[in-house]
Structure 1
Amino acid sequence: MERPLVVTAFLEQARNHYANQEAIVGADGDRFTYAELGDRVDRFAAALQERGIEKGDRVAVLDPNTHYHLEAAFGAMNIGAVFTPLNYRLTADDYEYILSDAGVDAIYADYEYAEKIEAIRDDVPTETFITNDTESVEDEWESFDTALSDAGPEYDQPEMSEDEIITINYTSGTTGDPKGVCRTHRTETIHAYLVSIYHELTDDDVYLWTLPMFHVNGWGHIYAVTGQGAKHVCTRGVNADQIVDAIRTEDVSFLCAAPAVLNQLIDYYEDEGGPAMAGDNDVRVTTAGSAPPEATIRAVEEEFDWRLKHLYGATETGPLITISAPSRHVTEENRYELKKRQGMGILGTDVRVVDEDGEDVPRDDRTLGEVVVRGNQVMDHYWNKPEATEQAFNDRVEGYYHTGDLATIDENGLIAIRDRKKDIIISGGENISSIELEDALFDHDAVADAAVIPAPSEEWGETPKAFVVPSSGDPDDPPVSADELTDFTRDRLASYKVVRRVEFVGELPKTATGKTQKYELRKREWDEEDRMIGEG
C-alpha cells in the first residue's frame, strides 16, 4: 500500500500519541504540550489563509531557535505554503535578494531581526509582515500572538503530493548569488527518517537547539524530533554557560554543535574547573562542518563523557549523507581518527569519489577525487536556476549531485575530505565565499590586488584570511592597516563573513594566464596542518 510522504504527518503523529506530553521549552521560558503546539500551528495556518496565503506561496521565517520558528514553519506547511527559512546573520541586502528571488508572499521575523527587513521592505514583493513583539519593531507589523488569537484553529488543508516543493533553503552564496535549494515533501520525509536512525532518536529524547533551525531546517530535526514526540529545548543563541545550564536542568540527551561550539564548551569546562556536563540523561552530540581536531573529540568524549558523531553533507543533500565511525570498524587505536573522517554513506545513499572522467578512484586513501552523491534525500532542483541544476547533477557523473569537495576513500569505503574544488571557507559551520570577500576588499582604494583563502583557526576550524597587494606596491608600508580593512569588510558584509586576518604581500602567485594560484597560498598557510581543510 502506498501512502504519500508529506511533512505535515510529523506533527500529526506527535499530536495523536503525545498530546499531553511536553513538546517545547521556549527560549522565553514558556512551555507547550504537543496539543498546545498543534493548536498554535493550526491558528497560524488559519491566520495565513485569512491574509490570502495559498498552497505554493512562499512564507519566510527569520528567527533564532524559538518556539515561534517551529509554529510558523509547520503553520505554513500545513496549508501547503513553501517554508523559506532565512539565515538571521545576513545583511538587509541579502534579504532583499532572497525575498525577491523566491517571490516571498509573507514573512514572520523575530523582533531582533525585523529591522533588517524594514530597511528593504519597499523593495520586495512581500505583503504580510508578522513579528513576535510589535513594541520592539518600528513601522506596521502584525503581532504573531494576536494573529493566532484572532484567527481561531479552523483552516482548510489542501491535498498535497509528496513530489511538491515544500521548503526552499538558500545556500550561503559561495559561488555567486545564493541559490534556493528546493526540497519536496518526499525528500524532507526520507531525510527525517534517516536522521532518526543515525541520530538514534526516540520519544524520550530531549533535544537542545544549538544548531540554527534555518540550517537545512535544522538538519531535518524540526521534523524528526517532532515526529518522534521528543522534547524541543529552544535557545536564542549559543552561550556556553546557558547551554550547560540547559543540559543539566532540562536533562538534555542530544544536541548538534559545530566544532566552534564544542570548543566554546571546552573553554567553559576548563575555566569552570570541570563542572558536570549532563543532567540525568546521557548526552549524545553530532558535529559537522570542518572536521574537529582529535583534541576536541577527546575532550568531549573523555572529559564531558558525551558520545560524539561527525556527519557530512550539504544544504543540497539534506544534509546527511555520511556519518563517521561505524561501530564495527572502530578499535581503541583508530577511534579518534575515524571520528574525524566524514565516514560512510548512509542507507539508501550512493556516495562515490570520482576522478575527472567520472570513474571511481581506488580505495587507497591517497587518490583524490570529487565526492558525488545520489539519494532520496537529495534536493529536487535549484529555484529558477535550471542551468545551475543541470551542472550540479551532471558535471562528472550523470544523475549525481556534485559536492565540489575533494576526498579520498579507504578500503572500507569511508571517505575523508582533503580539499575543496570550490573556493569555499567553512568557518564555525557557515559557508563563506572567498569571491564575495575579495569583491569587498577591491572596493577599497588602498587595495591593488587581493586573494582570500581559509586559514586554520583553533576556534572556528577555518577563518578568512586575505593576502593583499597594497596600492603603494610596498607590503612593508601599506596606505591602510589590517584592522582598517577588517572594519571595511565588517561594514559591508554579514558579521560571520568578515576578513579576520590580513597579510600584505608584494604580489600574488599567478598562472601564465593571470589567474591567482590560491592553491599555493593555501599550501603555505596549511603547511603545518595534516590537511588543507579546517581541523583546528
Structure 2
Amino acid sequence: MTTLDFLDRGVDVYGNEVGVIAHDGTEYTYAEFGQRVDRAAAALSDLGIEQGDRVALLSPNTHWFLETLFAINVLGAVSVPLNYRLIAADYEYILGDCGARAVVADHEYAETVEEIRDAVPVETFVANSADRVDGEWRDYESLLEDADPAAVERPGISEDDPATINYTSGTTGDPKGVVRTHRTEHWHALISTHHTEVTDDDAYLWTLPMFHVNGWGYPYIVTGVGGTHVCQRHFDAGGAFERIQDHNVTYLCGAPTVLDRMLNHYETHDVAATGDKPVRIATAASPPPEATIRTVEDELGWNILHVYGLTETGPLITTSNSPRRIASEGRFTIKTRQGHAMVGTELRVVDEDGEDVPADDETMGEIVVRGNQVMDRYWNKPEQTREAFSGRAEGWFHTGDFATVDDRRMISIKDRKKDVIISGGENISSVEVEDALYNHPDIERVAVIGVPHEKWGETPKALVVPAAGADLTEDAVVAFARDTLAHFKCPTVVEFVDDLPETSTGKIRKVELRESHAASAE
C-alpha cells in the first residue's frame, strides 16, 4: 500500500485522458503527467535526493505541486508540504526540525525562504521560475528538460515508510510534524474515495490548499480513479465559477467561509452555478450553519457533503453522506452533523473516565479515534506522541474535539476542547451559538468566544460581520439569540467587526480572537 499505486493506475488506465488542467488552462494527459513526474524525480535524484530524505514543497495549487509531490515519493523520499502563509521564522523552524535536504518553491514564495537560507540545513533550492527569484535557485523547468525519465529506479518502499510530514499550525507551541506513512495515506485515500464517491467522470476543482494534509488526499484519490485535476493557484470565487463553467467541474472542497464567498459572488454577479453537470462540495474545518447548507443547496443547486477530521487523522474520519437517512429524516437533520465513522474507522465519544457518553445527543465528550489512517507519530516528539494517544482512552488518538452522539451513532461536534465556554459552571458550545446567529438575515459572518467575566468566570461574546447595508444593533443580536437559545448560552457582549482572521484553510482563528478580546475585557 503506497501512494504510487494511485499514480500508476492513473497513468496505466487513463493515459490518453486529460488528467491535469493547469491554472492557465494548459492540459496534460495522464501519460504526459506521468512523464513529468518521472522527469521531476530524475532531476531530484540528479541533485542528490535519496530515499528517506525530506523535501519541502512550497507552492499554491498548481500542476507543479502535484507532479513534485508524486516525484518525491517515486524516490522514496518524504514530502514536507509548507503552508504558504507562514513567515520566514516559521520556515526556519520547520526546515530545521525535519532536516530538509531540498526545497522546491513557487516563485511567489521562494523569497521568504531566501531570507533564512543560511540558517537551515537545506542544500538544494529549486524554484519555479528561478529567474523571478533573487538568490541562487535552480530552475524547475530547466531541470526537467535536462532529466532522463527512463533513468529513474524506484527503491523498495515499505508501506510503513514515511511518505509525508505535515506540520500543524502550532497555536499552542512549536508546530508538530505529523508523520504519515504510505499505508496511512493509501488507506485514507481508499476510504475517502468510497465515501465521497469520486469517479473518472469527475473534474475536481482545487480550492482547498494542496499543502493542507496533502490536499485531504485528493492528489491520490483523483489520480487513482482517473478524474481531472483543475488547478487554481489561489481561491477566488469569480475564478472558481469560471472554471466550473469552462471545465464542467463536478466536485470541490471548502470550509464554510469558502461557501460564504461563493454565495456572495453568486448573489452579486450574473454567473451560472454549474456547467453541464451537477456540482457537489465537501465542507469541513468548522461545522457549517444550517442556514449555509440551505442556501448552497437551494440557490446554487449544489449537493453538500459534510466531513470531519484532523491533520493527525488523514484527515477524514467521519461523513454525513447517508442518502438513506437524508431521504427519511431530512437533509438538515443529517447534514449539519459530522456523521458516522468512515469504513474501517473506530470512533468513540468518551467522558473524563474514558467511558462512552450516552447516545442522548446531549452529553458532551471528547472524540477519540483508531484506524489505519491515523498518523504514525509526531516527528522527533515522542512525548507529544505518547500524550496524543493517552488520557481518557489509552491507545486511542485524542482529537480535542467535544461532541455528542445520537442513537444512530452519528456525532455532532459542539466545540474544540479549548473553545468551550464555561460560564457559571455551565458548558456552552460556541458552535451552537454561532449556528443560531447565522439564521439572522443581516449577519454575514460570526465568531463566538469566551471572555472573562467578574461574576460568571466567562461569558459569550459575539463578533459579528454584518451583511452589506444592514442596520444591526447589539440589543437586536442578543434578542435574536434569546429567541432560540437558553438565555445562559446567549452572548452578553456583541461587537461589530469588518472581518474575522482566518487560517489558510478557512478556519476562524479563535485563539487570536480570544487573546485580543480577553485583554480588552479585563
Q: What TM-score results when the alignment is normalised by the length of structure 2?
A: 0.83
Q: Deviations over 1:448-484 (max 9, x none)?
A: xxxxx99958666648898899xxxxxxxxxxxxxxx
Q: Distance in 1 between matches of 2:448 and 2:416?
A: 15
Alignment of 1:90-105 (within 5 A): 90-105=86-101
- Measure how far apart 1:295 and its partner are: 1.6
Q: Is the 8 A contact 1:325 1:335 kept in 2?
A: no
Alignment of 1:463-478 (within 5 A): none
Confirm or deny that 1:191 pairs with 2:188. yes
Confirm or deny that 1:210 pairs with 2:207. yes
2:268 is aligned to 271
Could you say what secondary structure the match of 1:52 adopts?
coil
- What is the identity, as a one-letter code, of the residue corresponding to 1:393? F
1:44 is aligned to 40
**Residues 45/461 of structure 1: CA separation in 2 closer, same or farther (3 Å cut):** farther
353-362 or 496-505, which moves further after superposition? 496-505
Alignment of 1:20-419 (within 5 A): 20-153=16-149, 154-273=151-270, 275-331=271-327, 334-419=330-415
**Residues 112/409 of structure 1: CA separation in 2 closer, same or farther (3 Å cut):** same
**Residues 500/376 of structure 1: CA separation in 2 closer, same or farther (3 Å cut):** closer
**Residues 357/59 of structure 1: CA separation in 2 closer, same or farther (3 Å cut):** same
- Measure how far apart 1:424 and its partner are: 9.6
- What is the identity, as a one-letter code, of the residue corresponding to 2:250? S
Q: Distance in 2 between matches of 1:331 and 1:12?
A: 38
Alignment of 1:3-22 (within 5 A): 5-22=1-18
402-411 or 497-506, which moves further after superposition? 497-506
Q: Is the 8 A contact 2:21 2:28 kept in 1?
A: yes
Q: Deviations over 1:133-179 (max 9, x none)?
A: 12211011111000101112121210011111111111111321111
Could you say what secondary structure the match of 1:322 adopts?
strand
**Residues 161/217 of structure 1: CA separation in 2 closer, same or farther (3 Å cut):** same
Q: Distance in 1 between matches of 2:217 and 2:307?
A: 13
Could you say what secondary structure the match of 1:71 adopts?
helix
Q: Deviations over 1:279-327 (max 9, x none)?
A: 1111111000111111211111111111111101000001110001422
Could you say what secondary structure the match of 2:51 adopts?
coil
Identity, % of aligned positions:
52
Q: Distance in 2 between matches of 1:315 and 1:505?
A: 30
Q: Is the 8 A contact 1:89 1:496 kept in 2?
A: no
Q: Deviations over 1:8-34 (max 9, x none)?
A: 111111111111111111012221111
**Residues 59/503 of structure 1: CA separation in 2 closer, same or farther (3 Å cut):** closer
- What is the identity, as a one-letter code, of the residue corresponding to 1:89? R
Q: Distance in 2 between matches of 1:33 and 1:82?
A: 26
- Measure how far apart 1:71 and its partner are: 1.1
Q: Is the 8 A contact 1:289 1:312 kept in 2?
A: yes
**Residues 85/415 of structure 1: CA separation in 2 closer, same or farther (3 Å cut):** same
**Residues 462/314 of structure 1: CA separation in 2 closer, same or farther (3 Å cut):** farther
1:522 is aligned to none
Q: Distance in 1 between matches of 2:183 and 2:200?
A: 23
Q: Deviations over 1:24-59 (max 9, x none)?
A: 110122211111111111111111111111100001
**Residues 130/373 of structure 1: CA separation in 2 closer, same or farther (3 Å cut):** same
Q: Distance in 1 between matches of 2:257 and 2:87?
A: 22
Which sections of structure 1, spanning at least 5 residues, go unmatched? 426-452, 470-485, 509-536
Q: Is the 8 A contact 2:33 2:67 kept in 1?
A: yes
- Measure how far apart 1:337 and its partner are: 2.9
Could you say what secondary structure the match of 1:297 adopts?
helix
Q: Deviations over 1:165-212 (max 9, x none)?
A: 111111111321111110111110010001110110111110000001
**Residues 461/14 of structure 1: CA separation in 2 closer, same or farther (3 Å cut):** farther
Q: Distance in 1 between matches of 2:269 and 2:46?
A: 52
Q: Distance in 2 between matches of 1:504 and 1:314?
A: 27
**Residues 272/388 of structure 1: CA separation in 2 closer, same or farther (3 Å cut):** same
Could you say what secondary structure the match of 2:107 adopts?
coil
Alignment of 1:496-507 (within 5 A): 499=512, 503=517
Could you say what secondary structure the match of 1:394 adopts?
coil
Could you say what secondary structure the match of 1:83 adopts?
strand
Q: Is the 8 A contact 1:349 1:373 kept in 2?
A: yes
- Say which structure is richer in helix: 2
- What is the identity, as a one-letter code, of the residue corresponding to 1:306? W
Q: Is the 8 A contact 2:305 2:319 kept in 1?
A: yes
Could you say what secondary structure the match of 2:108 adopts?
coil
Q: Deviations over 1:391-418 (max 9, x none)?
A: 1111111111000011110010011111
1:421 is aligned to 417
Q: Is the 8 A contact 2:447 2:508 kept in 1?
A: no
Q: Distance in 1 between matches of 2:48 and 2:260?
A: 46
Q: Distance in 2 between matches of 1:424 and 1:110?
A: 39
- Measure how far apart 1:338 and its partner are: 1.7
Q: Is the 8 A contact 2:73 2:163 kept in 1?
A: yes
Q: Distance in 2 between matches of 1:464 and 1:73?
A: 38
1:450 is aligned to none
**Residues 496/299 of structure 1: CA separation in 2 closer, same or farther (3 Å cut):** closer
**Residues 7/463 of structure 1: CA separation in 2 closer, same or farther (3 Å cut):** farther
**Residues 466/101 of structure 1: CA separation in 2 closer, same or farther (3 Å cut):** farther
**Residues 400/496 of structure 1: CA separation in 2 closer, same or farther (3 Å cut):** closer
- What is the identity, as a one-letter code, of the residue corresponding to 1:102? C
Q: Deviations over 1:94-127 (max 9, x none)?
A: 1111111000111111110111101111111111
Which sections of structure 2, spanning at least 5 residues, go unmatched? 422-429, 455-497
- What is the identity, as a one-letter code, of the residue corresponding to 1:20? N
